[in-house]
Structures are given as C-alpha cells and as structure tokens.
Chain A
Amino acid sequence: MKRVTLCTITALVFFATLGSGLPQEPIKVVGSVPDFAALADEIGGDLVDASFIAQGNQDPHFVPPKPSLALLLADADLFIQTGIDLEMWAPPLIDKARNRNIMEGADGYVAVTSGIDLIDVHAAADRSAGDIHVHGNPHIQTCPARIRLAAANVLIGLQKVDPDHSAEYEQGYEDFLDRWDRALFGDELVDLLGGDLLIDMIMNASLFDFLGSEEFDGGTLLDHLGGWYAKAAPLRGLKIIAYHKNWSYFARAFGMEIVDFVEPKPGIPPTARHVKHVIDEINEYGIDLMLVANYFERNTPGKIEERTGVRAIFLPISVTGEPGTDTLFDLYDYWLDTILAAMAGTG
C-alpha cells in the first residue's frame, strides 16, 4: 500500500513538474479597435495573442457584425472595447459569439473608458445635436493621457483572465507607462516630476501653464520638456479645422484649438452652407491645417483645400491605419511627424 502511495505521489509530482515546464498558450485578446489590442500587446507581450475587429483605416462607428467576427469573439478570453456608444455593433456581435466569458460583466469583458473622464459629455442628449455619443467623446486613443489611463483597465482585464501571470502583467504595465511617459514628456521631466503628475495635468489642461510658470535649474520647466510634447511645441496655440470630433482630444492635449468641424454636427455629412461657413472661418482666422481621419471622404476636404489653401491632412485614427503605424508609439510619431511636415510645407 505504501509503495502504491509513493508511486502515485511520485507520478503526480512528475506530471506537475512536466506540466509547469510546458509553454502556456497565449491568452486570446480581441480589441474592438486595433489600439486596444496594441495596449494588450504592450502590457502582455508574449503572454497574449491580440487581434482586433475594426481595421485601423475603418470608421469604428460602422462595422458590420459579420459572423466571422462573432467567431473571433467566440474564441476570445478577453474582449476590450470602449464600453460606450462608439461600437454600437459590439452588443449584437457579443450575442452572436455566445461566449459567456466575454459578455458584459464577465471577467473577460473590459470597458476601457471605465473611470476615465471624457469630454463632450452632453447634459441633455438628443439627436438634434447630431449622432452624438451620449456618454462622451469615445475617441480616447487620440488622447495621450487617456489611452495611458485606459492601460490600467486593460491590465485589470488581463490579470482577471490570467491571474497566474499577474506579476508579469503588472511589470509589463509599469514598463509601458514608463516608456509612454518618456516618449511623451522626455526623460528629464519624467525624472523630475514623474509621469502620473504630468498626466493628471494633461487631464485638467493645466500642464502648459504649470510648466511655463515654474522655474527650476535656471529656467522654466518648459526647458526640461522633451519627447512628443517638445516636438509638438510648434502646434501650441495653432488654430485648426477638423472633420469630426475624433481629433478633439488630440487638439486639447497638444494645445491646438479646433475652430470648427467640417461636419455641421457629429455624424451629419457636410452641407454646402456649412462648408461655406468653414471656408469663411479658415479665411478669417488664417487657418493652415485641417485634420481628417483617413476613412472620411476626400471630396469636401479637397474642395475646401482648393478654395482656401488650407492643407487637409488625412491621418489614421488607429494603429495599423497606415503602413508603419504598428504600435501606439508609431502612431503618435506618425501623427506628429505628418502634421509638423505639413506645417513646414504650408510655411
């Protein structure tokens, strides 16, 4: 009897040891847009296999909930989406996927906007204001602060569905924050103040005032600014036109002022009268740049360009939306490089 027990224990230990040595399958993460999949990649690294539903050059408001997309979700461990009315196609897709693990409220469901202050929240929402987002502007990937805050929600999701690697995800998250902060503000300012404070100041729009008013080591803190913020210094105070509200966060974060939108109201295609109004505004304010997500039509921006000389810049709104934008870091580089190059071009 003793011998049998010993053999059993030995076998159990052997198989347990064998099992622990086996490489674990990466968890399957699906992002509603590529940016959320990119966040999971940054945090999870080799532990996750991330894919996405809306393509990087696709309007995320309008994604047909095709059966093949439902099948992608059927197999997912974690589904990451805004959780608000950007992806109105997500609920039918979740239903079609029949995967209880990723349904609203389940461990494998992450609403990345949870706990994040959004702009454009309508106190009294109705459709007279256009195809508005009743919970606020959902295009948070264009805000360097909010996409960083969203990473915390992605971390929670990863830790919930794969608790065995909780520490690795935590480490990946910290690494990402550090790399993101340094890319955003430069090493010097991050070492001085830390990323959290700087991000908070972006959120309450006090960053530039603070950096400009505080002196340190013989100059203002602006002298210590590096990264994308230093690169984007020429954009501060710049008046621009945008096609849709998906650039609102970006403009606020980098100190630009959107004078008007090509759409008369969100989701309402431009009318001749409104286009004329925009043209008048461009001439009045001497506006040189117009930001357009690359999934919008080019006809109206082209006409406005023709009549005013404004430069329409078509930018991907998401990771993979253009070649060379495979990560969030690439995407922000692409945005700033393209805008600054266009600025230089317009003189």
Chain B
Amino acid sequence: MPRLRYVSLTILAVVLLGPVSLQAQRQGSLQSRRPAGRDTVTAVSDSLQTVIAELTARLARLEEAIEARERAARLQSLRDRAQQRAAGSREETVDARSVTFYGRQRQMKQLNPEISMTGDFIGLARSPQSPTGTTNPAWDGMDFADNLAFLPTGNRFFLRAAELNVVAPLDPFTRGKFFLEIPGDGSLVVEEAYMQWVAHTHLKIGLFRNQFGQLNRWHEHALPQVDRPHVLTTFFNQDGLEGLGVSANWVLGNLWSDVNELTIEYVSGGDGISFAGGKGHDRVAVARLKNYYDLSGDTYLEIGLSGAQGANDTAGDYLSTVGGIDVNYRWTPAGRSHYRTFEVRVEALYSSQETALGTIDAWGGYISAQNRFGARILASVRLDYTQLPWDKDETIQGLAATLDFWQSEFVFFRLQVDTVKMSFADDDPINRVILQTVWSMGPHKHEAY
C-alpha cells in the first residue's frame, strides 16, 4: 500500500509540475534573449514559490482524502465486525437429522384456566373442651351454645377447608371464576361460581358472596383473624351472606369523596338466620355504597354503608332488614410497604326482624386492628360484641389476639388466643388457643387493598 501511494504521488507530481516546468523553461528562454533584470528573477521566483505552495496544499488535501478514504474503509470493516459480534451466535448449523417436528394441536395447556389451591389447617385447644349447653330455657334441647356461635368443639386438629380456585377469561367480554371448597367433613361445597362482565358496569351472575360491609366477601383463609367476626356469623351464618343471583357494581366517580362506588345485588338463598325465606320467598336484596378517601399518599379511609332486606320466614310474610356502617383506615408508607402497615376496621350492623310477635331490633359490631412489624410478622386484635338478631337480650362478646408469621407470600402460620363469652352458655367464657396454617399453591392471591 505505501509503495502504491508513493507511485501515485510521483505521477501526480509529474502531471502537476510538468506544465509549470515547461513554463519556467519558456520564461528562462525569453530571459536569455532579453537583458537580465533583478525584478524579473524575483518575479519568477515568487511565482514558483506560489505554485509550490499550491501544490503542497493540494498534495496535503489529497493525502487527507486518501487517509479519510482509508479510515472510512477501516471503519466500515470495524462496523462489519461489530455487526457480526452484535449478532452473536445467531447463526447455527442445523443437522436435518436432529430435527423432529411436533404438532401442537394436542398441547393446548395455555388455554387451561389458572388453577390454585389453598389449604387451611387448624389446631384447636379450648376450655371447656366439650360442647356447652345453653342456659336459655327456650332453646333447651335445640342446639348447643357452641353451635349457635359456630364454635368448633374438642381439642383437635382439623382441615377447615381445602379451596380450589379456577379462574379464566371466557371470551373477550367475560371472566369465569369457580371457588370450590372441601371442608373438613369431606363434602364438596361450591363457595362461589360466577361469571363477570368487566365493562363500565361490573355485572356478575352466579353464586357469590355478597358485598355487605368489608369482611363478608372475604374467604376465611384471608381474614385478619382465624374466624369471622361474631356479628357476621350471628346475623348471617357461619359463611356470611351469600346467594345465587346477579350483582351490578358502578364506580360513580368522585362525587363527595375521592371515589364513590355503588353495588346492588339481588340473590336467592338467604342465610338461614336473618334471611330464612322458604322456596319462592328466599330472595335478598343487597346494596352497598362505598366512599373512599385518600388522606395522603400513604393513608386512606373508607366509609361504607350497606343494607340487605329479605324474608325471614318460610312463607315470606315477615321481612328482615340489616343495615351496616363500616370504616377502614389504613396506613402503608410507600417506601416501607413490605414492612410496615397499620390498619383498623370497624363494622357496626343493625338488624330489624319482623315476627308474629312484633319487631326485634338488635345490633352488633367489631373493631379490629392489625399491625405489620416486619416482612414476616403481623399482629392483630379484635373486639366483638353482638346481640342475637332473634333475641337481643342474648349476647356474644369476644376478644381475640393473633400473631402471624409469614414464611413467604404463600405460607403463613397464625397463633390466635381468644375468649368468647356467650350470655346463653352453660360454661362461660370459652377460652381458645388456635394455631392456623394456610398455604397456597398456584397464581391466585388474595386481592385486598
């Protein structure tokens, strides 16, 4: 390359200098015929110097151009190598004999629904251990007090529930959800099964837990304490208020709070306590208005009003109305949300039951506070008080304290110590130590906020 460059420059110089040299010779010849003069020599010299300067500059420019061309070539080569390197090992030699083709028509697992399972295991020690009778003569021989308060008896371990959750989109418009529960007795209970249209109005059809208050809708394994607040089990039943029917939910925007939300539901089924209508008279109307306030980026307050109405006798002659107000305050510092949370829930319910003997009014409620101390540790307390909706003179009071240890997001252990005082029980109070273990498999998570 340097040799070629030298030859090129020499030829270039000859070509360029040739005419100049001829001109100089001609001038020299003229000078020889004329008397020599100092001015003429100077002029020729200047002229030559100018020409040389021009030539030098042109030479430099040419050298630069050649250098630039060479640099561009080097750069292009560099880019080519970079291109190869960037492409990495994409080029692979394929041995045709090693290739086997499979059809995917029999491999449609992606269309299977999301399936999750949750186990809810309980270890119970209580005093007294045996079932407790009632002191209320009107109920003598009807039921044990424990059953009225839905308290399991005996010192024992039991699987409270194994829950199977199956969730999938049905089509572009609807989602389907099944929550099947296998309680400890081995039976199969459909806890919820509904399809839902996700549009401006959330429409739900099927079997579902009603939007009454805050915790009624929650599944048991997701509650802040082992059991439901006594007011919910006493006013509705062990599983809370649920039914077969239709539900419509609207976000009303920010009318007087940051978010207002209205739910109206109409279901049949009842709960056997407040709503015990017979066939054809077992419809319950439920409404809930939720008012949500962002107090700060880390804190919110939610105030809800709920109401439910339906027949409480088989003939459908008498109505029950249950109203409720609930408040939820939650503080979760954004930068520490995994480690610190404090939450208070309060619900108060009022029941009005028509009977042949007149109207029975009763009320009950609970206050629950839960504090997260770290990534794994939570503690809570709950104070309960409720009158029985069919006899307001009889009451259930309770105090429960829990300590949770979350091994991971999918496994937790809970120790609950509680005492339940029933005004109608032989033995009073009932003290319990409960160890709960909950484990979840699969993608389903409880969607609280």
Contact = CB atoms under 8 A, between A and B. Distances in A.
A214 to B, nearest CB: 6
A105 B71 CA distance: 49
Interface string B51-80: 000000000000000000001001100110
- Interface majority SS (helix, strand, loop, mixed), chain A: loop
A70 B198 CA distance: 13
A55 B300 contact: no
B88 A204 contact: yes
A32 to B, nearest CB: 14
Interface string B351-376: 00000000000000000000000111
A71 B338 contact: no
Interface residues of B, number: 48
Given A66-B292, A206-B86, A98 B200 contact: yes
A131 B259 contact: no
Interface in B305-356: 330, 332, 334-339
A66 B335 contact: no
B251 A131 contact: no
Nearest to A55: B334
Interface in A62-104: 62-68, 70-71, 74, 88-89, 92, 95-96, 98, 100, 103
B37 interface: no
A175 to B, nearest CB: 23
B251 A57 contact: no
Interface stretch (A193-201, A276-284, A323-331): A193-201
B23 interface: no
Interface string B185-201: 00000000000001111
Given A131-B409, A197-B83, A216 B338 contact: no
A3 interface: no
Contact of B374 (A67, A95, A198, A297): A297
Nearest to B200: A98
A209 B198 CA distance: 52
Contacts, number: 117
Q: Which of the listed residues B172, B198, B202 has the most CB atoms from chain A within 10 Å of its own CB?
A: B198
Nearest to A299: B374
B85 to A, nearest CB: 5
Contact of B81 (A55, A57, A214): A214
Given A71-B259, A127-B410, A197 B254 contact: no
A153 interface: no
Contacts of A127: 408, 410, 441
Given A63-B337, A206-B85, A267-B408, 14 more contacts: A57-B335, A66-B300, A70-B259, A71-B253, A88-B445, A92-B447, A127-B408, A192-B78, A193-B79, A194-B79, A198-B82, A204-B85, A214-B82, A295-B337
Interface of B: 71, 74-75, 78-79, 81-83, 85-88, 172, 198-202, 251, 253-254, 258-259, 261, 290, 292, 294, 297, 300, 330, 332, 334-339, 374-376, 408-410, 441, 445, 447-449
17 contacts: A57-B335, A66-B294, A70-B251, A88-B445, A98-B201, A98-B202, A127-B408, A131-B408, A200-B87, A206-B88, A209-B85, A214-B81, A221-B78, A269-B375, A294-B335, A297-B338, A297-B375
Nearest 6 pairs of A and B residues by beta carbon: A200-B86, A67-B259, A204-B88, A57-B335, A64-B449, A58-B334
